[in-house]
Amino acid sequence: MLGESLRYQKDLDSLTILPELTGSYPNLIFQVNLAELEPFVQQLSIVNSDSDFNKIVELWGVRRMSPDFWKIFHSFSQYMQNNNPLEAGIYDMNRYGHW
């Protein structure tokens, strides 16, 4: 965790969209209607700047101050308890972004 900026390699960044929840440290949640999925993926694929990314967060990001934030956040734990209880746990909010 310390000194991460010294080891960061921007060219190695990638995005993987998985069909299931994975991990315990979400850093951002997107809420995307099925009808908006294609434009969402297209916009993500052409992000080249913080400004580009912020536009996506404005449209689909679930910020901590969103009225639905806790409902959505807790739905992840509930989903895991129902569908994969051996992998379920507590999601850690320490890495959640401040967009």
Average pLDDT, the chain: 87
Average pLDDT for 19-39:
89
Cα–Cα separations (whole angstroms), residue 82 to 7, 73, 86, 87, 93: 38, 15, 10, 11, 21
pTM: 0.76
Whole-angstrom Cα Rg for the chain: 15
The closest of 31, 33, 29, 57 to 43, measured between CA atoms, is 57
Tell whether the model's pLDDT for residue 92 goes beyond 90: no
Q: Which residue has the higher pLDDT, 90 or 75?
A: 75
Element (H, E) at 83: helix 69-83
Q: Encode pLDDT of 39-64 as tens digits.
A: 999 999 899 899 999 999 999 999 99
Is the pLDDT assigned to residue 19 strictly greater than 80? no
